[in-house]
Amino acid sequence: MTTQTDGLMDFLDAELAQLKSEGRFVRPRVLAGHQAPVSIIDGKKVVNLTSNNYLDLTGHPKLKAAAKAAIDTHGVGTAAVRPIIGTQDLHVELERKLAQFKGAEAALVFQSGFTVNVACCQSLMSDPKDLLISDELNHASIIDGARLAKAARKVYPHKDMKALEAILRDSAGTRRRMIVTDGVFSMDGDLAPLPEIVHLAEKHGAFVMVDDAHASGVMGENGRGTPNHFKVADRVQVSIGTLSKAVGAVGGYVAGQRRLIDYLTSVARPFTFSSSHPPSVIATCSAAIDVMLEEPERIARLWANAARFKEGLRGLGFDTGASQTPITPVLVRDSRKAQEFSARLFEEGVFALAICFPIVARGQDRLRTIVSSGHSERDLDFALGKFGKVGRELGLI
Ligand SMILES: *Cc1c(COP(=O)(O)O)cnc(C)c1O
């Protein structure tokens, strides 16, 4: 039976057709079992070069034990937002550990890296008299945070310090200014020039927010992040990390001065209006911080693997762009070819996702690879062999 309202959602057919014609239709591949360096994906055993499981912590026995123990002592959920009664002793303990890890006075945990970025941009840049200044390649969560902020926004070309200084000079007299940058840029794996950014910020009276999602657990001493790596941690006022990548669970946090954390605790909307993490997740994250301190060899292996893989790709003749971290793009510069490359590699037992326009600029289409500390040399050499084989087959090298 048809009714008058049956056609109301027909617009979705046209939208979906449009997405398909642009190669933007998404159907996620499905992982069976845990996020391992060699995983079963869509029923096929593949070398997994696509997860952010940098330190191979998602299946670590200590993290799993911590999650199970927390379920026994604290139950499975909090059934409340943090300011009501969704803050358990476990949350407080994790925040204490994170603050110490970051060398900050205090830290505050949010549901994800995405929400903590949105919360900080929105809460700290809350008036049209303020100015949020952002690198053009910052993560989507910063772009959305900037949209929700009431402040004016200015975007500078990627890592262009002359352009950043011009914006700072032109906006002298603005009530508050915050420069926001990713620490590690998620598509190219390059680093923000933090020493220059903090210098310009200080010179012009702005403060700095660094989103270290891809640097947490990867860069700096024991994975403390890019401000630690560049020795400018005490000059970054708003230090963001994620618990969803190297840490192996899910969540985000901000570390900084006690008054910053007190302020966000009172006003940040995702903190106030969305429920808190279940205790198992919080206990997992706490155990992960311990493991990062106790097993620094994981970070050493991650970097050794990244170097081996990057050198292998370059040796084959691939362009790995400006990468300075374990995120290694393999530039193809054509979206259809990138997708074909990814699909053929998958058939050969290697999973490397194609990332195409509009996620990256036109002509910047690539496969993005991320090795983990858990890959063996054999896994990496197998993958390199397949990159060579398929790359030659498609005329890319
Ligand atoms: C992944 C990522 C985020 C989002 O973190 P989640 O914890 O997954 O929400 C934020 N910023 C950057 C730069 C990222 O790469």
- Per-residue pLDDT tens over the stretch 189-219: 999 999 999 999 999 999 999 999 999 999 9
Please state at what angle helix 377-393 crosses helix 297-316, rounded to 10 degrees.
20
186 catalytic? Reply is yes
Question: Would the pLDDT of 302 be above 80?
Answer: yes
* Confidence (pLDDT) at 2: 64
Whether ligand 1 lies within 6 angstroms of the CB of 183 is answered as no
Residue 220 Cα, ligand 1 centroid: separation in angstroms? Answer: 18
* Confidence (pLDDT) at 24: 84
* Confidence (pLDDT) at 1: 59
Whether ligand 1 lies within 6 angstroms of the CB of 112 is answered as yes
Question: Would the pLDDT of 104 be above 80?
Answer: yes
Residue 354 Cα, ligand 1 centroid: separation in angstroms? Answer: 18
Whether ligand 1 lies within 6 angstroms of the CB of 111 is answered as no
- pLDDT tens digit sequence for 35-60: 999 999 999 999 999 999 999 999 99
Q: Whose CA is nearest to atom 14 of ligand 1?
A: 213
Mean pLDDT of all residues in the chain?
A: 96
Q: Whose CA is nearest to atom 6 of ligand 1?
A: 113
Q: What is the pTM of this model?
A: 0.96
Residues 6+ apart with CB under 8 A from 106: 95, 99, 255, 256, 257, 258, 260, 261, 262
Spatial separation of the C-alpha atoms in residues 137 and 161, rounded to whole Å: 14
| Residue 214 Cα: closest atom of ligand 1 | 15
126 catalytic? Reply is no
* Confidence (pLDDT) at 210: 98
Whether ligand 1 lies within 6 angstroms of the CB of 185 is answered as no
34 catalytic? Reply is no
Residue 114 Cα, ligand 1 centroid: separation in angstroms? Answer: 5
Whether ligand 1 lies within 6 angstroms of the CB of 211 is answered as yes
* Confidence (pLDDT) at 103: 96
Residue 188 Cα, ligand 1 centroid: separation in angstroms? Answer: 15
The dihedral built from the CA positions of residue 287, 292, 296 and 302, taken in this order, carries a sign that is: positive
> What is the bridge-based pairing of β-strands 327-331 and 366-370?
antiparallel
Residues 6+ apart with CB under 8 A from 23: 335, 336, 339, 356
Q: Cite the residue boundaries of each domain of the chain with CATH code 3.90.1150.10.
A: 24-53+296-393
DSSP letter at 190 equals P
Q: Are 247 and 285 in contact (CB under 8 A)?
A: yes
User: Which amino acid type is present at position 67?
Assistant: A
Whether ligand 1 lies within 6 angstroms of the CB of 113 is answered as yes
Residue 187 Cα, ligand 1 centroid: separation in angstroms? Answer: 12
The dihedral built from the CA positions of residue 219, 222, 223 and 224, taken in this order, carries a sign that is: negative
- pLDDT tens digit sequence for 325-370: 999 999 999 999 999 999 999 999 999 999 998 889 999 999 999 9
The domain made up of 24-53+296-393 has a fold known as Aspartate Aminotransferase, domain 1 (3.90.1150)
What is the dotted CATH code of the domain comprising 61-294?
A: 3.40.640.10
| Residue 52 Cα: closest atom of ligand 1 | 1
Q: Torsions phi, psi of 329, nearest 5? A: -75, 150
CA dihedral 6, 12, 14, 19 (to 10 degrees): -160
Q: Cite the residue boundaries of each domain of the chain with CATH code 3.40.640.10.
A: 61-294
Substitution site in 142, 244, 370 for ligand 1 pocket (most atoms within 8 Å of beta carbon) = 244
Residue 178's SS3 state is strand
With a pLDDT cut of 70, the percent of the chain lying above it is 99
Spatial separation of the C-alpha atoms in residues 126 and 175, rounded to whole Å: 11
